[in-house]
Amino acid sequence: MPSFVDTKKRTWRVVIDLLIAERLMEDAGVNVFELLDGFPELRNLRRFQMNPRDQAAAIYVCVREQLENANVSIEEFKSSFDADVAEKAREAFEEAAVGFFPNAQLRPLIRDLLSHNKRLTTAMMEEATAKLATIDMDEIEANFRAKIRGIADGSNKPIESEESLESTPAA
């Protein structure tokens, strides 16, 4: 069963059944029935992944009964979240959503897609980090400052927009 651990070391199980699915729609505005639509692009899921507010609301709906049973207030629950917990909670929610998906034959394929998506995202972030490490920000800043000084003292003309270049008569 999908679960995550908060910063207070409490484990929360993310459960999606028909009742929770209805509560997700009513209380969080998350339609779990449509979350995995659009296979293989999964656009709704990608939108959900980019919206922390929807994620938090959905997670709360899924664990609300556990919170009540453990006498944990919503404020205590929210304060036990950091970025890492939120990511693990979202992953647990996605796993529960896949488990709730009505087409059993597609579930393994959707799990594979999510796994590949996570690996691809990690690879892209690593590549971007490596590229950023090669940029000499001091050189870029020095060139920028030199250009600005040149514009200010008149030795360098400002860069003209395409629009102003188009309206300038040819010599």
Could you tell me if 157 and 82 lie in one domain?
no
Same-domain check for residues 74 and 155? no
Parent domain of 64 = 3-133
96: number of Cβ within 10 Å: 23
Q: What is the pLDDT of residues 92-151, one digit of tens each?
A: 999 999 888 877 888 888 788 878 878 888 888 899 899 888 888 888 888 888 888 888
Mark residue 37 as left, alpha or beta (left: phi above 0; alpha: psi -120 to 50; beta: remaining): beta
Q: State the total domains in the chain.
A: 2
In a shared domain, residues 78 and 159: no
Q: Report pTM.
A: 0.69
